[in-house]
Amino acid sequence: MIAVEQHLARILETVRPVRSFDLGVLDAQGCVLAADVQAKVQLPGFTNSAMDGYAVHAADVAGASEESPVVLPVVNDIAAGNTNALSLVMGQTMRIMTGAPMPRGADAVVPVEQTDGGVVHVSVHGSPEPGQHVRAAGEDVREGQTILRSGTLLGPGQIALLAAAGVARVRVVPRPRVVVLSTGDELVEPGREPGFGQIVDSNSVMLTAAVRSVGATPYRVGGVPDDARQLMETIESQLVRADVIITTGGVSMGAFDTVKQVLSRVGTMQFDKVAMRPGMPQGFGVLGEERVPVFTLPGNPVSALVSFHVFVAPALRAMAGRPENAWPPGYVPAVAAESWQSVPGKMEFTRVVFDGDRVRLAGGQGSHMLGALAAADALAVVPPEVTEVAEGDRVDCLPLLGAEAP
């Protein structure tokens, strides 16, 4: 029996970020940059007005006030999108809109609120400093400047900066492609009615959703019968499109545990008992020339989802190039609202429901109990040496429902 931390460490030592490639900036949302990015153009691209108002020579309106306004002739209107290079001579003004290019010579803007809004002549009672209400070309970003570093997670703000700085495509760590298959003669495809002795293949559906929830790209193969040859052929045919393969079922102590029988002989696959509940039987290794990581999770649905959160999700984050300890933090602290027993010598993952920052049990804790799993907000993580959680104890929780995507 090995500890949870040992099994996870072996996994994280094995996996590598997926090979980087170029994506259009909008398609790269949620990905991590694989290279520093430089601005193709400066920002702002040209000196422009920060306000709707009047472009002036600041010296012309120095000392202007409500009591002694300065009147200037308005010789032009400059809208945003005006592509003419204009010049402003001393003693005159031009009406200018936010984002419109400043005329050569002008060094300040009087906001429209500090004028009478005139269109032929304007009476100005504000006296801006030189440079005031003006955005200088390049003050935000210089051309050629590194604007985002390798390792940056791309959200809306980063994508906007890339687009504005003239960057159309970026080199990123792509979303890992994850093949999901479940094993067992008892499985029927969702939508078909199970007969006596049969169950709906809900595991591959659940894990497909789980893969998607951490920002990776799932391919659901679905159920494969307990047949050694068919299982091996399926896995081999999927290796070409997979960055990761996840299987469920067939890894326990049974006489027909095909996954364990077939995969024990290939690649670096290793099958262990991990000191956790649920989720004890775990297999992991790499297969094929491309050394594709393969996770063989147990077949009980609660065991499979717990194993996903504890082992697969951290691996997928690492493969997506997410920095360790990045947002979101893994554990959410909470306080036990009731007491419960925990098995000695195993890390226990108890299904709990949040009530503010307090947690209570989510009902039936059997590893086959999907009803209670679906009612749970999080897994409370009880360390192996703890055999009882008392009301009021602090417990670390792994949220089962994420928040929002980058």
User: What residues from 140 to 169 belong to the interface with a second copy (CB under 8 A)?
Assistant: 140-141, 147-148, 153, 155-161, 163-166, 168
- 395 near 386, Cβ under 8 Å? no
**Residue number, 99 or 384, with CB nearest to a second copy:** 99
Instruction: Kindly indicate which of the ranges 5-13, 15-23, 132-140, 336-344 contains the residues binding a second copy, using the contact rule CB under 8 A.
Output: 132-140
397 binds a second copy (CB under 8 A): no
Pick the binder of a second copy from 1, 9, 26, 228 (CB under 8 A).
Answer: 26
Q: Give SS3 for 245.
A: strand
Q: Where are the alpha helices (DSSP H) in 165-250?
A: 202-213, 228-238
Cα 174 from chain centroid (whole Å): 12
Could you give the C-alpha distances from 386 to 27, 62, 398, in angstroms and in order? 46, 75, 17
103 binds a second copy (CB under 8 A): no
- Give the C-alpha separation, 259 to 240, whole Å: 19
- 294 near 288, Cβ under 8 Å? no
The secondary structure element, H or E, covering residue 159 is helix 156-164
Show contacts with a second copy in window 309-368 (CB under 8 A).
327-328, 354, 364, 366, 368
Task: Give the binding-site size for a second copy (rule: CB under 8 A).
Answer: 110
**Residue number, 17 or 267, with CB nearest to a second copy:** 17
What is residue 2's DSSP assignment?
B
**Residue number, 208 or 238, with CB nearest to a second copy:** 208
**Residue number, 113 or 388, with CB nearest to a second copy:** 113
- The DSSP line for 371-399 is HHHHH-SEEEEE-TT--EEPTT-EEEEEE
Instruction: Kindly indicate which of the ranges 185-193, 233-241, 271-279, 338-346 contains the residues binding a second copy, using the contact rule CB under 8 A.
Output: 185-193
Q: Give SS3 for 206.
A: helix
63 binds a second copy (CB under 8 A): no
- Give the C-alpha separation, 294 to 351, whole Å: 26
178 binds a second copy (CB under 8 A): no
25 binds a second copy (CB under 8 A): yes
89 binds a second copy (CB under 8 A): no
- Give the C-alpha separation, 37 to 152, whole Å: 10
90 binds a second copy (CB under 8 A): no
Smallest distance from a second copy to CB 193, Å? 7
User: How many CB atoms are located within 10 Å of the residue 351 CB?
Assistant: 25
Pick the binder of a second copy from 15, 70, 110, 206 (CB under 8 A).
Answer: 206
Smallest distance from a second copy to CB 290, Å? 26
